[in-house]
Amino acid sequence: MKLEDFGLKELQNYVDAETKLDSLEEQHQEERDVVYNSCYPSYGVDAAGDLTTARSSVEDAVIMLDELDESYKSLIRKYKERSDVLRRAISHLADDERFVFERKFFEKKSLNGDGHILLDKAVFKVCTFIQEQRNQKKKQEQINQQADLRQQVRNWKLSQKGAG
């Protein structure tokens, strides 16, 4: 498989998914911390100069946390699959290949001459792995569709026997 067949842009989408997932995890934790902190009283002064206090009830905080978690789960779903595939692909690299791959794609650092040769090998291996995973997923989806159709036909035949 040539890199052009898979596409460096497609590989970058997988790397970006990993980066986005990390960012979303950090943001989610910060939002959870805000909710936790809202359970403690906070003090302030309103426009009239009077002292005010604010505090969320524990019940409200639990509801907010549940809503945050559900929102987070639905948000990360599209990034998680690509991130998992990329992580598995990287885990199949030799240590030196993993080093140059992560240095180039995650740390955004330049490489020396030998590093480019290793990077080419690493990119080829990662792209090949991702493409194989895509093919396996498509094949499994086809098998599942065929099984669903067979089950629908069986159910239809059983309903026809019962009606006749």
Sequence-separated (6 or more) residues with CB below 8 Å from residue 75:
24
Residue 69: its pLDDT value, please? 95
| Separation CA 66–CA 21 (nearest Å) | 20
Distance, CA of 150 to chain centre: 33
> Helices 113-163 and 58-91: crossing angle, nearest 10°?
110
Residue 63: its pLDDT value, please? 93
pLDDT tens-digit series, residues 129-145: 998 988 998 999 999 99
Residue 1: its pLDDT value, please? 45
Residue 106: its pLDDT value, please? 84
pLDDT tens-digit series, residues 46-74: 788 887 777 788 898 899 999 999 999 99
Question: Number of helices (H) and strands (E), helices first, in the chain?
Answer: 5, 2
Q: The pTM is what?
A: 0.63
CB atoms within 10 A of CB 122: 25
Annotated domain spans of the chain: 7-42+53-133
Residue ranges for the chain with pLDDT beneath 70: 1-7, 163-164
